Amino acid sequence: MAQAKSILKVGLPLLLGVGLVWYSLSKISIEKLVQYFKDADYTWIILGVSLGMLSHISRAYRWLFMVEPLGFKPKFGNSLMAVYAAYLINFTIPRAGEVARATILKNYEELPFDKGFGTIVAERVADTIMLLTIVVLAFFLESEFIFDFFLQKFNITSLILGGSVLFLGVLVLFLFIRKGKSKFAIKVKGFVIGLLEGALSIFKMKKKWAFIGHTLFIWVMYVLMFYVTTFALPELQHIGLAAILIGFILSSFSIAATNGGVGSFPEAVVLAFSLFGIADDPSRAFGWIVWSTQTLVIIVIGGLSLLYLPIYNRKKTTL
């Protein structure tokens, strides 16, 4: 049973990714997609890739603030290579990168696995909060557009009824989880409590403001990376803030759907941009350009990191 569950965890995202790649390429010819790549302005693509790399460097540096209270002072080089190696490994088995990153730190920095993995989970809490913050920010900045969009798709009575049902559903779920004794209720309650504890633990750090500053920087770089790359295609140079934010949000969620967003990333962009009347072909091409260039950097630097880590730490291991 456990083996079948593990196979499903690995196999389903992979199959979904392959299916979405096939679907995406069936909607745009490879010749046309290649032409978009050829005609793109690579000045903006290189800038986008550079901003993505800055976010990874900041992530590696941010982690140092988390392990310092534990009594460890790892090398920045090990932290950076562990980050890139983790991203690369996530393309093979979902979330295996986090385990690999903690293992790398254990092998080369003598940081106990459980403590290292705990700090990585805390990082994920901070990143989840940032993504939810961007979702809320997008809603408030573009509330008029979102409201008008739903009014066009649904009548006001349906919206009120749907909102009421949603509110009651959330209220019932909250009460069920709060007082429930089932495995599901306990699991969700534990997740929420862990999220809150992780968020509050950030404020107990010695260098909490540096950690918060790096977290903000990482996510600003993510959004800017997505935004500046739109200038690479003439058809997308004048899209609005709403399209950028919603496109970024959906594409961010798509990375968790399949291994590193393979197949799902371009289609998430198409879904988001179609809400604003943007044509499918440039939207899909843009999604493939962003995903493939960022992925290429991760494959190259992640692969080199795995090769160079033993060499970088050779002096330490031979003592």
pLDDT at 8 over 60: no
DSSP string across 202-218: HTTSTTHHHHHHHHHHH
In the chain, DSSP finds a helix count (H) and a strand count (E) of: 14, 0
Write down the pLDDT at residue 64: 87
Write down the pLDDT at residue 38: 94
Rg (CA), the chain: 21
pLDDT at 228 over 90: yes
Write down the pLDDT at residue 157: 65
Number of CB atoms found within 10 A of residue 86's CB: 24
Write down the pLDDT at residue 20: 82
List the structure tokens of 157: 């009575």
312-to-78, 111, 118, 157, 186 alpha-carbon distances in Å:
8, 17, 25, 64, 44
pLDDT at 36 over 90: yes
Write down the pLDDT at residue 50: 96
**What is the rounded average pLDDT of the residues 39-63?**
95
Write down the pLDDT at residue 232: 95
Residue-wise pLDDT tens digits, 71-84? 778 899 999 999 99
**What is the rounded average pLDDT of the residues 28-33?**
91
Residue-wise pLDDT tens digits, 121-162? 888 888 888 998 888 888 887 766 666 666 665 566 665 676
- Alpha-carbon distance 301 to 154, whole Å? 48
Pick 201 or 258 by higher pLDDT: 258
**What is the rounded average pLDDT of the residues 62-67?**
86
Amino acid identity, position 8: L
- Give the predicted TM-score (pTM) of the model: 0.81
Write down the pLDDT at residue 319: 41
Write down the pLDDT at residue 318: 45
pLDDT at 219 over 70: yes
User: For residue 138, how far is the Cα from the chain centroid?
Assistant: 17
Counting residues of the chain whose pLDDT is more than 90, the rounded percentage is 36
Mean pLDDT, all residues of the chain: 82
**What is the rounded average pLDDT of the residues 42-63?**
95
Write down the pLDDT at residue 241: 85
pLDDT at 119 over 70: yes
Is residue 79 within 8 Å of 56, Cβ to Cβ?
no
**What is the rounded average pLDDT of the residues 233-253?**
89
**What is the rounded average pLDDT of the residues 92-100?**
80
- Alpha-carbon distance 163 to 157, whole Å? 10
Counting residues of the chain whose pLDDT is more than 70, the rounded percentage is 76
- Alpha-carbon distance 15 to 108, whole Å? 35
- Alpha-carbon distance 143 to 222, whole Å? 22
**What is the rounded average pLDDT of the residues 80-90?**
92
Write down the pLDDT at residue 7: 55
Query: In 3D, which of 134, 113, 71, 194 has the Cα closest to residue 186?
Result: 194
